[in-house]
Amino acid sequence: MTANIPFDDATLPPKKVDFCESWYSPDIKDLPVETRDLFEQYSRIPAEDVVDHIQKMRSRAWDIYPYPCIGQLRFLNLSLSRHPLYPEVLARLRPQIDLETQRLESLNISGKSSGISYIHSSPQVLLDLGCCLAQDLRKLVFDGVPSEKLYGLDVEKGFIDLSYDLFNDHTTFKSQFVIADMLLADVSRDSALDADSSTDGLSADSIPAPTSLASLENRISVVVANSIFHLYNYADQLRLAKRVVRLLSPERGSLILGRQVGSSQPGEYNAVNNQGTRYAHDATSFRRFWDQVAEDIGGGCKFRVETVLDEEEIGDNKDQGQHWSEPNNRRMRFGVWRE
Ligand SMILES: C[S@@+](CC[C@H](N)C(=O)[O-])C[C@H]1O[C@@H](n2cnc3c(N)ncnc32)[C@H](O)[C@@H]1O
């Protein structure tokens, strides 16, 4: 652990990552049944070809950037659908919610009734922040959400392009993507990035053109933030969070949810790319973090924050010689609602 290291300036993770072979699992051993269903029924890949198809696409993704979730095949877990708040997400986004203003009961982080409900009147739309291969968006569509209500954002255009090949949905998937670095993002910069990416093309005519970050401001009802905040040190997480809140609908109940690596001992730890640090939270530090975000934003901004920490999925990492792996690592799942 490297505590109290001065924060670096915001930088993108460098392309070259040391030691990454240690988190490359060569074979797909157990494909979860939900994932197989997605590839067979949504992507219409013949059952006998599914594993081979995923292996080939995973190699291409690994060449773009060797994230542990790609090397360890964790993107196949469809983690949003395993999040305790997934039923709340589906309830907001499935078609019937558009019909009129609705009061919807919010769950708590254990997936049980919270006794809290929110009135939703603006159209519910979801953004997958750091969507990578956008597997969670495809799962939402498979589970009945219209793809037009979904957006993905990533700094790596290559992941987004590849996602259409992975899911074989070039003509049917109508979600729009933003290609932007959320740590550089101010509105003028976004426009430049979007102009670049549209001329560079998400190629096929049937694929929606990339949209701009500015066009999403104050519109997003649900932000999915799986495995993105934890890449960064505390100062960069704060900048990221404040940028994300600008995208969030001003309605009470707008939600940011996700999973990330937390810790039983919060602090700065070695970053995955071995450059600088990543801050790992526990429940208390995460609460304090969002209080700080609210205070910095001002104007009466408040959040309801819930977390759960456990060891699931983290155990795999311990024996793989990963320099960023720590015995204190815990999986953290969270929900942050605008109050
Ligand atoms: C560890 S991957 C997680 C991907 C996906 N959310 C999942 O859970 O499988 C992190 C993703 O966030 C993207 N990302 C990291 N920093 C970013 C930034 N500053 N702006 C936009 N995207 C970023 C990366 O390109 C990558 O696709």
| Predicted local distance difference test score (pLDDT) of residue 24 | 80
Q: Which residues of 174-195 are buried (b: 16+ CB within 10 A; e: fewer)?
A: ebbbbbbbbbebeeeebeebbe
Domain-wise residue ranges, the chain: 78-338
The rounded Å distance from CA 159 to ligand 1 centre is: 10
Residue 172 clears pLDDT 90, i.e. is over it: yes
| Predicted local distance difference test score (pLDDT) of residue 99 | 59
Residue 205 clears pLDDT 70, i.e. is over it: no
Residue 279 clears pLDDT 50, i.e. is over it: yes
Q: Which residues of 306-336 are buried (b: 16+ CB within 10 A; e: fewer)?
A: bbbbeeebbeebeeeebebbbebbbbbbbbb
The rounded Å distance from CA 329 to ligand 1 centre is: 19
The rounded Å distance from CA 94 to ligand 1 centre is: 25
DSSP track, 135-189: HHHHHHHHTT--GGGEEEEES-HHHHHHHHHHHT-TTT---EEEE--TTT--HHH
C-alpha–C-alpha distance, residues 185 and 181, integer Å: 6
213, 190 contact by CB (below 8 A):
yes
The rounded Å distance from CA 284 to ligand 1 centre is: 25
Q: Long-range CB contacts (< 8 A, 24+ apart) of 167-170?
A: 167/39, 167/42, 167/43, 167/134, 167/135, 167/138, 168/43, 168/44, 168/45, 169/42, 169/43, 169/138, 170/204, 170/206, 170/207
Residue of 15, 62, 128, 154 to mutate, ligand 1, most atoms within 8 A of C-beta:
154
The rounded Å distance from CA 130 to ligand 1 centre is: 3
Residue 121 clears pLDDT 60, i.e. is over it: yes
The rounded Å distance from CA 228 to ligand 1 centre is: 5
Higher local confidence (pLDDT), 130 or 204: 130
- Under CATH, to which class is 78-338 assigned? alpha beta
Residue 278 clears pLDDT 70, i.e. is over it: yes
The rounded Å distance from CA 241 to ligand 1 centre is: 14
Higher local confidence (pLDDT), 197 or 55: 55
| Predicted local distance difference test score (pLDDT) of residue 225 | 98
The set of protein residues with a Cβ atom below 6 angstroms from ligand 1 is 67, 69, 75, 79, 130-132, 154-156, 159, 181-183, 226-228, 231
Residue of 228, 237, 273 to mutate, ligand 1, most atoms within 8 A of C-beta:
228
Residue 119 is which amino acid? I
Residue 168 is which amino acid? N
Ligand 1: nearest atom to the Cα of 128: 6
The rounded Å distance from CA 288 to ligand 1 centre is: 24
Residue minimizing CA distance to atom 11 of ligand 1: 130
The rounded Å distance from CA 116 to ligand 1 centre is: 31
Ligand 1: nearest atom to the Cα of 184: 19
Residue 242 clears pLDDT 90, i.e. is over it: yes
Lowest mean pLDDT among 130-144, 262-276, 283-297: 262-276
Structure tokens belonging to residue 147: 């793809």
Ligand 1: nearest atom to the Cα of 232: 16
Q: How confident is the model at residue 81 (pLDDT cuts 50, 70, 90)?
A: very high
Ligand 1: nearest atom to the Cα of 135: 9
Residue minimizing CA distance to atom 9 of ligand 1: 75
| Predicted local distance difference test score (pLDDT) of residue 314 | 57
**Tens of pLDDT, residues 210-220:** 788 999 999 99
Ligand 1: nearest atom to the Cα of 79: 8
Residue 224 clears pLDDT 70, i.e. is over it: yes
User: What mean pLDDT comes out for the span 196-202?
Assistant: 41
User: What mean pLDDT comes out for the span 93-115?
Assistant: 85
Higher local confidence (pLDDT), 256 or 122: 256
- Cα of 5 vs its chain's centroid, Å: 26
The rounded Å distance from CA 156 to ligand 1 centre is: 8
C-alpha–C-alpha distance, residues 313 and 334, integer Å: 16
| Predicted local distance difference test score (pLDDT) of residue 18 | 52
Residue 316 clears pLDDT 90, i.e. is over it: no
